[in-house]
Amino acid sequence: MPDPIAQPSYRALLDVPYLGRVVTSMSLARVAQSMLGVAIVLFTLAEYDSPALAGIVTFASILPGLLFAPIAGTLLDRHGRIRLVVLDYIVASVSLIAIAALAAADLLPPWLLVAIAVVTSLTAILSHVGLRTLFPIMVPRRLWERINAVDSNGYVLATIVAPPLAAGLVAFAGPKVAMAAIAVPFAAAAIALIGVREPAHAPSSSGRLLADAWEGLRYTLRNPTLRGLGVSISIANIAGGMATIVIPLLVLRVLGFSEVVVGLVFAVGGVSGMVSVFLFGRLDTRGREWIMLVVPLACWAFVVALLLPPSGAMGPIDPLVGLGFIVASQLLGGLLNGPLDIALFTVRQRRTDPAILGRAFAVSMAFNFLGFPIGAAIAGSLASTDIVLAIWLGVLATVVSAVAAAVLIPVRENAAHAPVVEPA
């Protein structure tokens, strides 16, 4: 009878030690993170009535961590991933309770909300990178497409469950209670990791924190695949940041629906994304990564452009018809995310030296996501006066990202890339 772990199937993942607990923790944390992404925008709009501040808070909750990424990656390589992931979940839980308590006491001025967002951003990069770099160490290479599908669907599942839950809490319990409630899954995610042992791993190190961080940055910028992914995905994420601010504004203020509808709209993309990810996760992506990256990015321009009719760019529109355009945008976007995510995760694993995995992944993931807080901040500023212009910014970003991916991402891996060592 064949050894199940030798078979490239989802079932084989069940035999990887501790993987079930790591995935459980990841799922809980990503539900909390997705809830927070929606709730923080609705909280800021409800408490301060300012789209610009919503964009600034989103920006502050992401960008500092991205800038801290080289140091974070070095710490992960040196000190292990599990303990630093747990640290982030604890900081997130405490910060959310603090926001809720301060807001209830009317002691949360905008600057303090932004400051708390900065603190949580600095630790969030530890869990984002820590889990992403733990999987290729724990899981045999022949199962990478499968674990990457599970990884991607952790986000997708969170996109289905979290936005309606967060929006429902804001609508029925109030924004303050919603922020406090999100602390619970973060705490549960930390508890799930207690006692988990990560595999032995021997990263290269100079023994100096800043020197190792610089080496991770230099390696990423010199690696043609990581560099190409960084430029193209970061530009595409400008559209993602824009949508985070614009979609709630379209649903609430332009079309006149409730916060619950905001959550349901975001969930549509999660449902279609889950189906897409599981289908593409069954493919062997070797030799197909380039086309699985470039084609979805090129199609994203149409997906973002579907937000223009409900914005009033083409004249008055019936609210239900406008909502239909937004739902179609989310539905198609989720379908495109499947091949994009699987190819992105797997090609980065294959073309990164395992001895520098934490540092390189930290810088690469930060580079890839850099456009998101920028898009959110710009959209928050523009949307107060010209929401149509904010959407056109997203359309332009997706076109440029597709061109950048086609030109900058190598079609094939070359001999210059370090070999990947199989985990035991």
DSSP 381-418: HHHTT-HHHHHHHHHHHHHHHHHHHHHHS-SS--TTSP
Q: CA-CA distances (angstroms) from residue 301 to 27, 47, 132, 372?
A: 30, 33, 28, 16
Q: 403 is written with which tokens?
A: 């061109």
Taking residues 139-150, report their average pLDDT: 74
Phi, psi of 127 (to 5 degrees): -75, -40
Q: 402-415 burial by CB neighbour count: b if 16+ within 10 A, else e? A: bebbbeebbeeeee
In percent, how much of the chain has pLDDT > 70? 89
- What pLDDT, on the 0 to 100 scale, is given for residue 357? 66
Helical ranges in 105-182 per DSSP H: 110-138, 144-173, 175-181
Q: Which pTM was predicted?
A: 0.69
Residue 246: burial class (beta carbons within 10 Å; 0-12, 13-18, 19+): buried
| End-to-end CA separation in angstroms for the chain | 21
| Residue in this structure with the two tokens 């061109």, named with its chain if needed | 403
The rounded Cα 218 to chain-centroid distance in angstroms is 24
Contacts of 128 (CB under 8 A, 6+ apart): 65, 365
Locate the domains of the chain by residue range: 17-186+207-408
CA gap 201, 198 in Å, rounded: 9
Dump pLDDT digits (tens) for 14-48.
Answer: 777 778 788 888 889 989 988 898 888 889 988 99
CATH, range 17-186+207-408: 1.20.1250.20
The overall average pLDDT reported for the chain is 83
The rounded Cα 111 to chain-centroid distance in angstroms is 25
Dump pLDDT digits (tens) for 279-291.
Answer: 776 777 777 889 9
Higher pLDDT, 400 or 166: 400
Taking residues 389-397, report their average pLDDT: 93
